[in-house]
């Protein structure tokens, strides 16, 4: 009897707990527990090692590394990373990501070999140690059977468009600075360029279409990245610049020394200016302003 009363009492408490103020049945308890279980399930998923480590590593790789390296054996700007985790020591990989410039200064033999093979040093991108560790973890778990880069063919009109974009006679759509402000290309139709950054005459020969596309789409160099951070190049502009650089690599112009021409032009211009000034000032006073006063004083003695 007592057990039956207790059960009925507890059953009444449960019904009252889930009954609304207006007497309607609500799912207060069940909704609360569903919310708690949902939060716990989400936390469990986020704390799973594969998700917690691979997701930030993948983002960092896309942001800092993908412009120069492929997740395959194919070379882009730098070597493919298909088996890099197996071939290289993890600590070395982290150092290579964090301070590649310091490794080069220390005479690291692997770095020297890579520079010899690819023609350039890996830039220091300011990546922190924990970020480098996440990138290496991502490389260890990522699918590295990427497809090989597809060869591209370009038209003469694309190369002409790229030349105009390179020298700045046509502005980029997003108003980025023209390439020849920092780079030079030995090309018959381009009048020199800047010396702040590398000469790009043979860049296509070294990098190929895939490398040039990656370099222009996601610049790996700090100065270039800042310059185009909010002024990215369009796909059409990247293709045109790549076409022009392919043309420049195949048909490099002989380097022209403009010093003699500048000197001759300067001397000729100076003579013309002196002649012009002499003509314009032909009625000028030729003696001292006080010469007439001095002459009168001499005569009065």
Concatenated DSSP letters of 34-66: HHHHHHHHHHHHHTSHHHHHHHHHHHHIIIIIT
* 8 Å CB contact between 195 and 219: no
pLDDT band at 28 (very low <50, low <70, confident <90, very high): very low
pLDDT band at 202 (very low <50, low <70, confident <90, very high): confident
161 and 239 assigned to the same domain: yes
Is pLDDT at 279 greater than 70 in this prediction? yes
Residue pLDDT, tens place only, 130-140:
999 999 999 98
> Would residue 259 count as lying in a domain?
no
Of 106, 141, 176, the last residue of a domain is: 141
226 and 162 assigned to the same domain: yes
Tokens of 139: 């490389």
| Domain assignment of residue 7, given as a range | 2-46
Q: How far apart are CA 192 and CA 198, in angstroms?
A: 13
Is pLDDT at 186 greater than 70 in this prediction? yes
Count of CB atoms situated within 10 Å of the CB of 188: 11
Q: Average pLDDT in the 250-279 region?
A: 76
**pTM > 0.85: yes or no:** no
Candidates 89, 87, 111, 90; CA nearest to 100 is 111
Q: What is the mean pLDDT of the chain?
A: 78
> What CATH number corresponds to the domain at position 97?
1.10.760.10
Report the DSSP beta bridge partners of residue 269: none
Q: Please compute Rg for the chain using Cα positions.
A: 36
Give 28 or 39, the one with higher predicted confidence: 39
Q: Say which residue the tokens 């990138």 belong to.
A: 135
- Give 168's DSSP letter: T
Q: Average pLDDT in the 257-267 region?
A: 73
Q: How far apart are CA 195 and CA 184, in angstroms?
A: 7
Is pLDDT at 292 greater than 60 in this prediction? yes
Residue pLDDT, tens place only, 46-57:
554 444 444 588
- Count: domains in the chain: 4
58 and 40 assigned to the same domain: no
Is pLDDT at 97 greater than 90 in this prediction? yes
Candidates 171, 80, 155, 95; CA nearest to 129 is 95
236 and 290 assigned to the same domain: no
């Amino acid at each position: 009897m007592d057990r039956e009363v207790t059960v009925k009492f507890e059953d009444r408490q449960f019904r009252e707990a889930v009954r609304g103020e207006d007497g309607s049945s609500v799912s207060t308890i069940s909704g609360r527990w569903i919310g708690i279980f949902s939060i716990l399930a989400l936390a469990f998923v986020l704390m799973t090692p594969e998700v917690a480590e691979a997701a930030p590593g993948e983002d960092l790789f896309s942001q800092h590394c993908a412009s120069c390296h492929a997740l395959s054996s194919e070379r882009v700007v730098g070597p493919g990373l298909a088996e890099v985790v197996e071939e290289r020591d993890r600590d070395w990989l982290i150092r290579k990501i964090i301070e590649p410039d310091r490794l080069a200064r220390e005479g690291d033999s692997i770095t020297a070999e890579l520079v010899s093979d690819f023609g350039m040093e890996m830039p220091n991108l300011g990546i922190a140690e924990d970020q480098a560790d996440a990138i290496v973890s991502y490389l260890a778990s990522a699918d590295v059977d990427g497809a090989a880069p597809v060869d591209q063919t370009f038209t003469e009109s694309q190369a002409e468009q790229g030349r105009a974009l390179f020298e700045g006679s046509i502005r980029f759509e997003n108003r980025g600075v023209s390439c020849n402000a920092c780079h030079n290309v030995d090309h018959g139709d381009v009048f020199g360029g800047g010396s702040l950054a590398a000469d790009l005459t043979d860049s296509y020969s070294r990098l190929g279409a895939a490398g040039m596309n990656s370099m222009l789409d996601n610049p790996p160099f700090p100065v270039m990245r800042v310059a185009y951070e909010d002024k990215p190049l369009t796909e059409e502009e990247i293709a045109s610049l790549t076409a022009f650089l392919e043309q420049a690599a195949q048909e490099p112009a002989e380097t022209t020394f403009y010093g003699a021409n500048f000197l001759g032009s300067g001397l000729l211009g100076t003579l013309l200016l002196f002649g012009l000034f002499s003509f314009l000032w032909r009625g000028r006073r030729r003696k001292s302003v006080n010469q007439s006063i001095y002459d009168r004083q001499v005569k009065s003695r």
